[in-house]
Structure 1
Amino acid sequence: MQWWCAAQGIPWSWSWRPYPGVWLFIALLLIAYRRFTRGAAPSRPELARFAGGALALWIALDWPVGALGSGYLASVHMVQFLLIALVAPPLLISGLPAGALERAAGRPAARFAAPLARPLIALLLFHTIVIATHWPSVVDGLMGSQAGSLLLDMAWLVGGLAFWWPVVSPVPERPRFPLGVRICYLIASTVLMTLPYIFLTFAELPFYATYELAPPVGALSAGEDQRLAGLIMRIGGGAILWTAAGFLFWLWYRSDAEAAR
């Protein structure tokens, strides 16, 4: 029994497999949330958002998505990336009460992590992680072990939290990062994600030995699976970022309308 999803090189089976490391991670995340919000009770919408973020992580990491993405299909691996780095982080952050964030702002860990959440640094950090974790030698070197697969998943999560923090979190307040600039920040990110999309979608040969040599699942060839992964990154990632930008535009328009009244 594996404790974390990783490439195994055995024929795929739809028989359920337990991954207790994933369950432990989700349980610790929920326990940490309960401790963090003690004394600053979250509202029902905040609870729902945090639960949604935890659910997105659970789906991405556990069977069958986690197992398929770790050692069988690059396209499912890309779905994991979207869930871990682009879907779960904004939900987790927006589920934290402002009172708990303000109380934690002065702690040493918060002061140490604060520079990573500055918009420019967060943007560069996130896209450096995106390119590095989709580099063939990195993927093939990490996905074969449980520790390596865990490292890759956590890199996506940390990068996603840093990327979304200046967009979503109310603490610390950023007067120089208004809604209009946040929209540009998200749009710039869609442009920066073009590079990995191009090399995945238009490559003549498969990049990843992990997925090229994996036991087949379905009718897709390794090249078709890789091209599908690139399209999922482009279309799925773009849809998430443009939806977030559209929501911010609506907030911007509403705030201007209220100010005018």
Structure 2
Amino acid sequence: MENLEIFGFRALWSPYYLTSIVIAAALYLLLVTKGKHRATVKEKTLFLTGLVLLYAVKGSPIDLMGHIMFSAHMAQMAVLYLVIPPLLITGLPVAIWERIIQTPGIQQMFRLFSKPLIALLGFNGLFSMYHIPLVFDFVKTDPFYHALMTVVIFIAAFFMWWPLVHKVQSQPQITGILKLGYIMADGILMTPACALIMFSEAPIYATYSDAGAWIQALHLCVPSDTLAGLALTGPEMFHTLPLLEDQQLGAILMKIIQEIVYGSILAVVFFDWARKERAKDAVPDALIPKYE
């Protein structure tokens, strides 16, 4: 089995992408350390964790593995769309969000795309469309459309998470038991795409099963001059898992990560809702006069 190091340092560690992440982190800390936009330690931890994960899934060897193994790709997508957006949303102070949302153009975007039904259908519709084999193989072999689709789905994931986790008073927010229904609906809507992948009887993506399409897809993360000097025959050079099992594992990993993330959010939402309900029930009792 070949070692990934044959692809070179740039393909493995994406130094330019790392530089952009470091600059983003520095600008964030500069913005939230002084003045009226100060962030709490918790907010800084959440936001910087989101940036670290963003580099891990899009700039580290995990990104390269995502072009070699479908299971790595699905794990990458799960973290990118289900873990990172809520970290970035909750890591940015409310005062900054208020200024961002008040910007002309962005204000209209939030007004439309943060509506719960539109946010749910938008993200899950795009995610499902992306994993249609014809669309997937086209996008994975074209740098422009691959970057465009990744950004569009990430923005859709951001708006999907927004009604659940934001703290901006001027923005509509799902509260109480409605949050539970929202999360459950989100999980259900993602199931068809995962089921299509999981229960297919043969590999359905040429960019992971056809040597020519796979090598073309590698151009997304490996410099052309490096690829030209390599004798590649297919993804099986780098792992021993059969293609169909790798595909099925990818769908399973997506659902497992989804269940862990959504289950954690469900638990937090449920206990918070139960606590507030108990507090409301306790108020009348406290107002009843007590006589000795």
Deviation at 1:88, TM superposition (A): 0.2
Q: 168, 171, 174: which one pairs with 2:172?
A: 174
Residue number in structure 2 paired with 1:198: 195
Residue number in structure 1 paired with 2:114: 117
Residue number in structure 2 paired with 1:209: 206
Residue number in structure 2 paired with 1:140: 137
- Does the 8 Å contact 2:113/2:159 carry over to 1? yes
Aligned AA (1:246): A
Moved more, 104-113 or 207-216: 104-113
Deviation at 1:31, TM superposition (A): 5.2
Quick one: structure 1 residues 238 and 208, their matched pair in 2 at CA, closer, same or farther if it must change by over 3 Å?
A: same
Q: 90, 94, 97: which one pairs with 2:90?
A: 94
1:231-250: CA deviation from partner (whole Å, max 9, x where unpaired): 11222212211221111111
Deviation at 1:33, TM superposition (A): 3.4
Residue number in structure 1 paired with 2:226: none
Matched, 1:19 2:11: no
Matched, 1:222 2:235: no
User: Structure 1: which 5+ runs fail to align?
Assistant: 1-10
Moved more, 151-160 or 20-29: 20-29
What is the identity percentage for the equivalent residue pairs of Structure 1 and Structure 2?
27
Matched, 1:260 2:281: yes
Matched, 1:62 2:38: no
Larger radius of gyration: 2
Quick one: structure 1 residues 13 and 104, their matched pair in 2 at CA, closer, same or farther if it must change by over 3 Å?
A: closer
1:208-237: CA deviation from partner (whole Å, max 9, x where unpaired): 111113421221111111100111122221
- Does the 8 Å contact 2:80/2:154 carry over to 1? yes
Scaled by the length of structure 2, the TM-score of the pair is 0.78
Aligned AA (1:52): T
1:49-92: CA deviation from partner (whole Å, max 9, x where unpaired): 111111111111022110111x2111110011111100000010
- Measure, in 2, the Cα distance between the counterparts of 1:21 and 1:65: 16
CA-based RMSD: 2.1
Q: 251, 262, 271: which one pairs with 1:250?
A: 271
Scaled by the length of structure 1, the TM-score of the pair is 0.87
Q: 60, 79, 82: which one pairs with 2:78?
A: 82
Q: Which has the higher helix share?
A: 2
Residue number in structure 2 paired with 1:44: 41
User: Structure 2: which 5+ runs fail to align?
Assistant: 211-233, 283-292
Residue number in structure 2 paired with 1:237: 258
Q: How many residues align?
A: 249
- Measure, in 2, the Cα distance between the counterparts of 1:259 and 1:139: 50
- Measure, in 2, the Cα distance between the counterparts of 1:221 and 1:129: 28
Deviation at 1:167, TM superposition (A): 0.5
- Does the 8 Å contact 1:36/1:100 carry over to 2? no
